C-alpha cells in the first residue's frame, strides 16, 4: 500500500483553539486526518511493545508554535515515519498499527459505531446484504459475507473483497483490494458515489486450486459466476467454436465442465487493468496490462499504430518498485495541495530479458499498486508451492493484508521471492445452493474486440524466449 501525507490542515479544537492536522493518504486517497499528538502516542506504544531499536525515528516535540516551514518539515518527517512503519514486516502488520488506522479513519469520517446493512456485489451482478457494524474491519466483513453465503470457513481465504468502480460503458475498474487497516463500510461511504462497489472475487492465481473451491457447491457457484462474467466483459477470449461449447454446457447446467473449459481459454483468471502507458518496447506506448498465470501480459500500441502482445513472467523479475509524485492539474499550480494536484503512480520492474541482460520496464498507471499486489500474491503462491506449504494457510493470512508495501518519495525495491505467512483457522464444512445461475447472453459469437492481432513479441518466459532453465 502506498502511504503519504501530502497535505496539512488547520483545524479548530473543541475549546476553540486551532491545531495542525496531517492528512494520511493511502493510494492517493484520504484515509484519515490525525494530529501530531495522536501519532506521537502511537509511536510511544509501538516503542514500548517492540523496543526502541525497532521503531524508526520520530520527529521531536517543539516548545513553541511551529512556523509554516517547520510544519512542512514535520509533515515530511511524519510521512517518512508512516512509510517506514508500514514497510516493516513486524510493525506494518501489527494489530496496534492497523487498529490505529481503523479508528482514525472512523473518527475522520465521523461515522458512529452502529449496525448497518452493507451490500457486497458478486460477479454475476447479484448482491449479498451483510449485517455488520460500521466499525467492522475487512476480515469481519468477509466473514459476514461468507456466513451469509454458507461458504465454508476453510474456503474463505480463497476469496477477497475488492473496491471496484463501474464505468459508463459497463466496464469495471479494480481500484484496490480492501486491507486490514480499513473499515469497508467507512471506505465505501466516504467515496460518496454510487459508481463504487465492494466485490467478492477469488484471490488466488493457480488454477490448480479451483478444484478445492469447486468441491463445495457455494464455491462452485462463485467460481462459475466469475468465469461467466470475465468472458462476458472480454477478459477471457473465446472463439465461435468455444462459444458454442460454453453455451451447450451452460444449457445442461454443467458448471464444473464449463469452468474446466474456461481454464483452457486465453486469459482465464486474469485481472485486466485500465489502458495506461509504458516505456516498453518504446517510451510513451499505450498499453493494456493484465495480471494472471504468474505474469503481466501487455497489449501494446506502438507509435506507428502497430499492435503487439508480450508477457513478463514474475519468475524473471529481479525486483519491482512503486513510486509516486505530485503532478499539478492543468488549471492548478505547483502547490503540494491535493486539491490542485493528482498523484502519479508508476510500477517499475527489473526484468531478465536474456541470460545476461536486465532491463527496467515502467508502467504509468493509477492502478500501479493494485498491479504490485497482484505480483506479490503470485509470488506468495509460488513460494508456498515450492516449500510444500499449505495454500489454505497462506490464503487465510493473505486476506489480512500481508502484502507488498510501497514507498512514495523514494523507490523501494521489493524482491519477488519472499517468505509467505503461515496461519490457519479451524475448518468448518457447509453446503448451500443459494447463488442464482447466470447467463452467457453477453458473450460475443467471435473473438472479442480486445483480442489484438499482430505480431507477438513474447516467449514463454521472456521477450527473447529465454526460459527459467537458463537462469
Where do we find the cell 509467505? 420
Average pLDDT value for residue range 154-178:
92
* pLDDT computed for residue 228 by the predictor: 96
Average pLDDT value for residue range 18-30:
89
* Total number of residues shown for the chain: 471
What average pLDDT does the chain have? 82
* pLDDT computed for residue 304 by the predictor: 86
Residues with Cβ within 8 Å of 99's Cβ and at least 6 positions away in sequence, in order, are none
Average pLDDT value for residue range 156-169:
93
Determine the Cα–Cα distance for residues 254 and 15; give it in Å rounded to an integer.
67
The ranges of the chain annotated as CATH 3.10.20.90 are: 113-203
Average pLDDT value for residue range 403-419:
31
The ranges of the chain annotated as CATH 3.30.1520.10 are: 3-109
Determine the Cα–Cα distance for residues 55 and 167; give it in Å rounded to an integer.
43
The ranges of the chain annotated as CATH 2.30.29.30 are: 270-328+342-400
Q: Classify domain 3-109 by CATH architecture.
A: 2-Layer Sandwich (3.30)
End-to-end CA distance of the chain: 31
Determine the Cα–Cα distance for residues 402 and 364; give it in Å rounded to an integer.
24
- CA 225, 377, 84, 273 torsion: positive or negative? negative
Strands 159-166 and 127-133: unpaired
This prediction's pTM: 0.80
Each residue's pLDDT tens digit, 262-312: 999 999 999 999 999 999 999 999 999 999 999 999 999 988 889 999 999
Determine the Cα–Cα distance for residues 464 and 199; give it in Å rounded to an integer.
38
Q: Which bin fits 58, alpha (ψ -120 to 50), beta or left (φ > 0)?
A: beta
- Cell numbers linked to 199: 466485490
Q: Classify domain 113-203 by CATH architecture.
A: Roll (3.10)
Helix (H, G, I), strand (E, B) or coil at 184: helix
Is 183's pLDDT higher than 60? yes
Is 435's pLDDT higher than 70? no
User: For the domain bounded by 270-328+342-400, which CATH number is listed?
Assistant: 2.30.29.30
Determine the Cα–Cα distance for residues 450 and 457; give it in Å rounded to an integer.
17
Determine the Cα–Cα distance for residues 328 and 324; give it in Å rounded to an integer.
13
* pLDDT computed for residue 53 by the predictor: 86
DSSP state of 284: T
Q: Which of 83-92, 126-135, 411-420 has the highest mean pLDDT?
A: 126-135
**pLDDT confidence bin for 29, thresholds 50/70/90:** confident
Each residue's pLDDT tens digit, 438-468: 434 434 333 333 332 233 333 233 333 333 3
- Cell numbers linked to 420: 509467505
Least confident of 13-17, 118-122, 365-369: 13-17
Amino acid at each position: 500500500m502506498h502511504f503519504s501525507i501530502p497535505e496539512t490542515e488547520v483545524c479548530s479544537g473543541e475549546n476553540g483553539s486551532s491545531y495542525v492536522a496531517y492528512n494520511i493518504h493511502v493510494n492517493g486517497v484520504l484515509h484519515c486526518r490525525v494530529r501530531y499528538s495522536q501519532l506521537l502516542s502511537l509511536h510511544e506504544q509501538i516503542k514500548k511493545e517492540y523496543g526502541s531499536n525497532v521503531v524508526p525515528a520520530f520527529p521531536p516535540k517543539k516548545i513553541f508554535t511551529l512556523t509554516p516551514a517547520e510544519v512542512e518539515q514535520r509533515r515530511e518527517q511524519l510521512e517518512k515515519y508512516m512509510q517506514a512503519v508500514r514497510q516493516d514486516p513486524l510493525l506494518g502488520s501489527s494489530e496496534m498499527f492497523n487498529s490505529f488506522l481503523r479508528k482514525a479513519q472512523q473518527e475522520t469520517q465521523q461515522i458512529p459505531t452502529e449496525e448497518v446493512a452493507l451490500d457486497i456485489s458478486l460477479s454475476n451482478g447479484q448482491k449479498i446484504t451483510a449485517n455488520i457494524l460500521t466499525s467492522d474491519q475487512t476480515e469481519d466483513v468477509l466473514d459476514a459475507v461468507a456466513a451469509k453465503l454458507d461458504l465454508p470457513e476453510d474456503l474463505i481465504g480463497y476469496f477477497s473483497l475488492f473496491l471496484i468502480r463501474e464505468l459508463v460503458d459497463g466496464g469495471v475498474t479494480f481500484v484496490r483490494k480492501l486491507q486490514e487497516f480499513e473499515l469497508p463500510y467507512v471506505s465505501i461511504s466516504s467515496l460518496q458515489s454510487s459508481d463504487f462497489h465492494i466485490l467478492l472475487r477469488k484471490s488466488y492465481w493457480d488454477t490448480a486450486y479451483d478444484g478445492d473451491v469447486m468441491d463445495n457447491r457455494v464455491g462452485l457457484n462463485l467460481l462459475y459466476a466469475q468465469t461467466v462474467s470475465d468472458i462476458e466483459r472480454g477478459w477471457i477470449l473465446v472463439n465461435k467454436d468455444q462459444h458454442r461449447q460454453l453455451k451447450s454446457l451452460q444449457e445442461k447446467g454443467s458448471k464444473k465442465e464449463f469452468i474446466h473449459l474456461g481454464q483452457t481459454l486465453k486469459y482465464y483468471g486474469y485481472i485486466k487493468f485500465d489502458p495506461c502507458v509504458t516505456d516498453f518496447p518504446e517510451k510513451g506506448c499505450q498499453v493494456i496490462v493484465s495480471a494472471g498465470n504468474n505474469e503481466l501480459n501487455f497489449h501494446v500500441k506502438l507509435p506507428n499504430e502497430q499492435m503487439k502482445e508480450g508477457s513478463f513472467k514474475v519468475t524473471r523479475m529481479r525486483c519491482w518498485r512503486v513510486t509516486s509524485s505530485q503532478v499539478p492539474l492543468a488549471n492548478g499550480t505547483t502547490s503540494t495541495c491535493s486539491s490542485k494536484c493528482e498523484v502519479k503512480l508508476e510500477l517499475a520492474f527489473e526484468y531478465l530479458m536474456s541470460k545476461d541482460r536486465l532491463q527496467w520496464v515502467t508502467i504509468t498507471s493509477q492502478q500501479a499498486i493494485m498491479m504490485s499486489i497482484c505480483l506479490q500474491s503470485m509470488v506468495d503462491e509460488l513460494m508456498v508451492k515450492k516449500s510444500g506449504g499449505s495454500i489454505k494457510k497462506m490464503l487465510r493470512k493473505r486476506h489480512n493484508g500481508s502484502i507488498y508495501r510501497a514507498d512514495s518519495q523514494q523507490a523501494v525495491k521489493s524482491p519477488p521471492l519472499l517468505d509467505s505467512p503461515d496461519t490457519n483457522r479451524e475448518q468448518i464444512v457447509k453446503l448451500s445452493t443459494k447463488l442464482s445461475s447466470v447467463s452467457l447472453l453477453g458473450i460475443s459469437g467471435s473473438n472479442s474486440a480486445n483480442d489484438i492481432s499482430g505480431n507477438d513479441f513474447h516467449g514463454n518466459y521472456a521477450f527473447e524466449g529465454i526460459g527459467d532453465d537458463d537462469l
